[in-house]
Structure 1
C-alpha cells in the first residue's frame, strides 16, 4: 500500500538527466555514470522493515506485508486506511 504522494515519487526514474550535453569536459566531472543508483554496494542492506526487521525495497519504512496489515503507506509510514474494524489477513 502506497499513498498518493509517494506514488508520484515512485513514477520518477533515478537516472541522470538525458537532456544534458555530454561533451568530454562535462562528462568527466560526473562520477557515477552508468551506475544504477538504487543498487549501490555501500547501500545494499541498510533498509529494513520497522516492525519485522526484514529487508525492504529502496527507502521503504515497512515491508508490503506489514504495511497491508497495519494499513500504512509502505514508503512513508503514513496511515492510509482505518483497520480498526477489519479482519486483515495477508494469506
Structure 2
C-alpha cells in the first residue's frame, strides 16, 4: 500500500528492455558490451535482502520504506513514508 506521491519512487524490476530502438541492452546503440553481466557491472549492486527493516515487526522490507506490506495495510499507512492512507477503524482484522 503506497500513497500517490510515493508511487514514483518505487524501484524498477531488473529485466531487459523490450524494444530495440533506444534500448540499453543492445549492441547497436553502444549501450552493452558482449557477455557483460548487468548486475555485476553496475556501481550500486542490487541486493535482494536489503538493509531496511519494518519499524513494527522488524521484517526485512524489499522496497525502500518504513513498513512491510502487512503492517502498512493493518495500520492503513503508506509503506514508504508512513502517511495515513486508509481508515481502518471499522475493519475487522485478526492480526492487530
Change (3 A) 1:7 1:45: closer
For residues 12-27 of structure 1, the aligned pairs below 5 Å read 13=12
RMSD: 3.2
Tell me, which stretches of 5 or more residues in structure 1 are unaligned? 23-32
* Distance (whole Å) between structure 2 residues aligned to residue 89 and residue 38 of structure 1: 38
Residues 50 and 62 in structure 2, CA contact (< 8 A), matched pair in contact too = no
Unaligned runs of 5+ in 2: 13-23, 25-30, 32-39
Greater share of helix: 1
Does residue 64 in structure 1 map to residue 81 in structure 2? Answer: no
Match of 2:4 in 1: 4
On the 8 A contact 2:56/2:67 being kept in 1, the answer is yes
* Count of residues in Structure 1 that have an aligned counterpart in Structure 2: 74
Higher relative contact order (CA 8 A, sep 6+): 1
Normalised to the residue count of structure 2, the TM-score between the two structures is: 0.58
Contact 1:72 1:79 in 2 (8 A): yes
2:2 touches 2:80 (CA, 8 Å); kept in 1? yes
